[in-house]
Structure 1
Amino acid sequence: MPEEVFPIIISAADEVRSSSAYEYDNTLRGGRSHHVAIQRTQSGRGWFRDAAGTHDVPAGHAMLFSHDEPTAYGYPAGATAPYDLRYVTLMIGTLAPLLARLRTDFGSVVRMSDDSEASALFDEIGTRFKQRTFRDRLHEAELIHGLLIALYREQVRGTQTTDPIEFGHHYLRSHFRSPINLKLVAGKCAVSREHFIREFTRRYHESPGALLRRLRLEHARAMLAATDTDVESIALASGYTSANTFCRAFRQKFGHSPRGR
């Protein structure tokens, strides 16, 4: 049978738990790696355990896991408030790399605040599943993809105050095709340009300027290989303010002009 490529919802429900007997070990579930759960705490709190330890999952947060991994979750021992949760289980299909990137960059416990785009999409997915109101399979896949993107965006925004250097890293990777500069990015992070460059380089072993140049040149080289677009348009689409600046950077990096060998 052909492998399913489009993500599809398997189940969605609300539950309220009030006993520490509520505990699941995913290694014992007999599930599959492409069966993934997104479980949001509506009120109260749960816990999630992985190789890094046990993590609190308070209201406005969600845990992400698959049904065959060495993780566990449940109701905290000693808690008194009910653990009100909402979950969606799905076959992840071709969105597995996106989910993996989300977990790699931000962990398996992520923010999903009440008024966020991610929370609205999560609730819509659960409601449409229960009411069978997806327009078609593509609509279902579109909403799941949008949810993962919204979750990623929410985590990036959160780092602006909790970890401005990490926020700057995500900002560069998301905006390199725009004519941004390091002074602007440092301002977004609310730190000085000098502090941003120093701490960024220490953490990522690459200066922010080097990352910006690399992303722009890799994007430009991909456009050159895939299209007949003129060099000036490629330069502008890759974040350069002029074709001359782009051509000079390209020759320094690759040893030849953009359209020459």
Structure 2
Amino acid sequence: MNRDPEGAVGFPRILLSQRESYEGSGYWRDNSGDPPNSALVIQHTESGTAWLKTKNGSYEVPAGYAMLFVHGEDSSYGARSSKYQLKFVSMAYTRSICDLFNNVRREFGSVVQMQNGGQAECLMGSLMEAFMAREDPLLQAEEIFRFLIAVYREQLNRHQGDDPVAYGRFLLESQYRSPRNMSEWAEVIGITREHFSREFQRRYGESPAVFLRRQRLHHAQVLMKTSPYSVERIASLSGFSNVQSLRRALRQG
């Protein structure tokens, strides 16, 4: 097993990632015995069938699907078929990754589609390779965000069709450290700024600009308390265009 060194403060990182194969029905795990909130895990079924039991019910996890669980929660899982092949990534329990991870589970459940050969599955493989190669922690963090966005988008396409407003919110929540302004975000999302702002306000009760500022401000405040970085560096790492923008956000609260 290869475990990573400590990553950058506040950034997600991989704790453990590998492929495993099992034969017979003896493979099962109980998450409730693990230390609470010690890791977030996405486990993909490459072949065979697994099962996942949570407080909400029991679910099959066939090939092309993945289960999401947290170490320390009341859930368990195991193999349902005689042969079961899987791969998983175990991620540190940080706020940034929790928000994304919990959004997927809240909106789509703890078993999600991850088609073999699809974008999310391929990005998972790339993330595993980056972990094994001991790549820079910040590069790994970027790969984690790309992977989770791909997982989320695959569910949107499957369950809801293209939903640019929901996708836009997910991007703002997961990539708030990007210095893009709202016009640039709207271009990435694929709709006009006016339409995005109007529909975002109607659906979520606040403007996307306010939502984005809150994500950036929280991250900046965490860095101010836990890192030795200068104010200029903190502003840059949190997505603010300059120190003045950060100070303005601090005043507005």
TM superposition score normalised by structure 2? 0.64
Are residue 158 (structure 1) and residue 162 (structure 2) matched? Answer: no
Identify the match of residue 108 of structure 2 among 103, 106, 109: 106
Query: Structure 2 CA distance, aligned partners of 1:129 and 1:65?
Result: 20
Identify the match of residue 27 of structure 2 among 22, 25, 30: 22
Identify the match of residue 219 of structure 1 among 193, 207, 230: 207
Are residue 60 (structure 1) and residue 50 (structure 2) matched? Answer: no
Secondary structure, in 3 states, of the residue corresponding to 1:110? strand
Alignment correspondent of 1:201: none
Alignment correspondent of 1:75: 79
CA separation of 1:179 and 1:141: change in aligned 2, threshold 3 A: closer
Question: How much has 1:221 moved relative to structure 2?
Answer: 7.2
Query: Structure 1 CA distance, aligned partners of 2:26 and 2:200?
Result: 50
Task: Quote the RMSD (CA, aligned, Å).
Answer: 3.1
Query: Structure 1 CA distance, aligned partners of 2:57 and 2:208?
Result: 42
Are residue 11 (structure 1) and residue 16 (structure 2) matched? Answer: yes
Which residues of 2 match residues 43-192 of structure 1 at below 5 A?
A: 43-76=47-80, 79-80=81-82, 82-93=83-94, 94-132=96-134, 134=135, 136-160=136-160, 167=161, 170-174=163-167, 178-179=191-192
Query: Structure 2 CA distance, aligned partners of 1:53 and 1:63?
Result: 13
Query: Structure 2 CA distance, aligned partners of 1:21 and 1:127?
Result: 29
Query: Structure 1 CA distance, aligned partners of 2:199 and 2:132?
Result: 45
Query: Structure 1 CA distance, aligned partners of 2:24 and 2:208?
Result: 56
Query: Structure 2 CA distance, aligned partners of 1:49 and 1:150?
Result: 25
Query: Structure 1 CA distance, aligned partners of 2:39 and 2:149?
Result: 19
Are the aligned partners of 1:34 and 1:96 in contact in 2 as well (CA < 8 Å)?
no
Query: Structure 2 CA distance, aligned partners of 1:159 and 1:9?
Result: 28
Query: Structure 2 CA distance, aligned partners of 1:175 and 1:37?
Result: 24
Question: How much has 1:36 moved relative to structure 2?
Answer: 1.2
Whichever of the two has the greater Rg, that structure is 1
Question: How much has 1:172 moved relative to structure 2?
Answer: 4.2
TM superposition score normalised by structure 1? 0.62
Secondary structure, in 3 states, of the residue corresponding to 1:113? coil
CA separation of 1:125 and 1:218: change in aligned 2, threshold 3 A: same
CA separation of 1:96 and 1:22: change in aligned 2, threshold 3 A: same
CA separation of 1:19 and 1:174: change in aligned 2, threshold 3 A: same
Query: Structure 1 CA distance, aligned partners of 2:62 and 2:204?
Result: 39
Are the aligned partners of 1:36 and 1:67 in contact in 2 as well (CA < 8 Å)?
yes
Question: How much has 1:128 moved relative to structure 2?
Answer: 1.9
Which structure 1 residue ranges, 5 or more long, are not aligned?
A: 161-166, 183-209, 227-261
Which structure 2 residue ranges, 5 or more long, are not aligned?
A: 1-7, 170-185, 215-253
1:112 counterpart letter in structure 2: M
1:152 counterpart letter in structure 2: Y
Secondary structure, in 3 states, of the residue corresponding to 1:127? helix
